[in-house]
Structure 1
Amino acid sequence: MGFALASQVHGQEPGAEDKARRELYDHVAAITGMTWQKVAAVDQYERSMSRLRPKERPLGEHAVSGAYVAPERWAGALNPDPEDRSPLSIALFGGIGRDGSGDGKADRNNDVDRLYTVVRQTMLQGPGADNMAIGLWEYYQSSRAVQRVQQFDKLYSSFGTLNLSKHVFPLPLNSVYSYRSTWGNRRGWGGVRIHEGTDIFAGQGVPVRSTCYGVVEVKGWNKFGGWRIGIRDIDNLYHYYAHLSGFDKSIRTGDVVEPGRVIGWVGSSGYGRPGTQGKFPPHLHYGVYRDRGLVEWAFDPYPMLHSWERSERKALQNRGGGGG
Structure 2
Amino acid sequence: MKKTKSWLAMVAVLMVVVLAACGEKSQEDVLNDVEEALENTESYKSKATMVLETGQEPQTYDVEVWQKDNAYYKVDLKNAKNEQSQIILKNDDGVFVLTPALNKTFRFQSDWPKTSSQAYLYESLLKDISLDADVMFSQDENHYVFKTATTYQNKNLNSQEIRLNKKDLAPVSVKIMDADNNVLVDLTFTEFERNPELSNEDFNTEKTMDGAQMSEPTMATPEEEEEISIRYPMFIPDGVDSEPKLETVETGERTAYVQQYSGDKPFTLIQEKSSIVPATTAPLNLVKGEPVDLGFTIGIQSADRIMWSHEGIDYSLISESLSEEEMADVARSVYATTEK
Would you call these one fold, judging by a TM-score over 0.5? no
More strand by share: 2
TM norm structure 2: 0.24
More helix by share: 1
Higher relative contact order (CA 8 A, sep 6+): 2
Which protein is bigger by CA-based radius of gyration? 2
